[in-house]
Structure 1
Amino acid sequence: MCHPALRRALIAAQHLRDLARLRRVRDRIDREYARPLNVEELARAAGMAPGRLSRQFRLAYDASPYAYLMVRRTERAMALLRRGDLGVPEVRRAVGCASSPGVFGERFTELVGMDPDTYLLRAATAPGELPWRVTRRGPVPSGPVSSRNEEATATEPQLA
């Protein structure tokens, strides 16, 4: 057995390495939100097991990697809708949600408080009344992990 102080130091060092890995995962999601991403790929790139990545990410950022990805996609969609030159289907494709229009609409509504079509309409008529960021937190998406990974495997053109 190692000395308790040495053990604490080793645990602290591992914690710092994990935090650095989690920051890289978060930064990748921020950069590549429109690409198909899944936990297995993110975990492999971070050198972590998928379950460990999910647990640690949730502890660090108060959301699963999938929920964090959906917030990023929703915020980008909000910006594109406010711009006004794209319709909802084009925006959905641009943020990486072309293969799951129902999921996109549900999550957008949960996070923004209105559906994307209403948001687009209000952007044209009352832009000052619109939220610019996701300010409310919807429920964490439920269901089997495989359904989240199926969304992530769709191949879509890179728009942004």
Structure 2
Amino acid sequence: MLSQKAKYALRALVALARAPQGKPLVISEIAHSQRIPKKFLEQILLGLKHQGILDSRRGKGGGYVLLKPADQISYGEVLRAIDGPLAPLPCLSVTAYRKCADCIDEASCETRRVFADVAAQTRLLLDTRTIADAIAEPKSTPPVA
């Protein structure tokens, strides 16, 4: 499940991507427009800055800006920066592998086999969808049956 912190981070990045090219946004602007508690947003933006996703500028006309174009910031990158590994099981994590405490044999683990597909598809989707995709005009999609 997506954490509230991750949802706020994604909303803040979308707001920054919609800003005119290179125009910094101050925390209070983002917090107000996205309905994010200001103190919580400060922590989130600072974390995204430390992860190389945002930059901040001081002084008059300062604020936060995207460090790279929105089409180069994937959802996967943001979610890993905020919440850590995407894998549903520690033994499937690419970035933070850990053997499951109750594991008898990874090679024959039925749960691991099923969730390996889930993890791979999740990574594929989240690592190819970007902040730019979020602000693009929605494509009409047929209803799901």
Identify whether the pair has TM-score above 0.5, normalized to the shorter chain. Answer: no
Q: Normalising by the residue count of structure 1, what TM-score does the alignment of the two structures yield?
A: 0.31
Q: Normalising by the residue count of structure 2, what TM-score does the alignment of the two structures yield?
A: 0.33
Q: Could you say which structure has the higher helix fraction? A: 1
Q: Could you say which structure has the higher strand fraction? A: 2
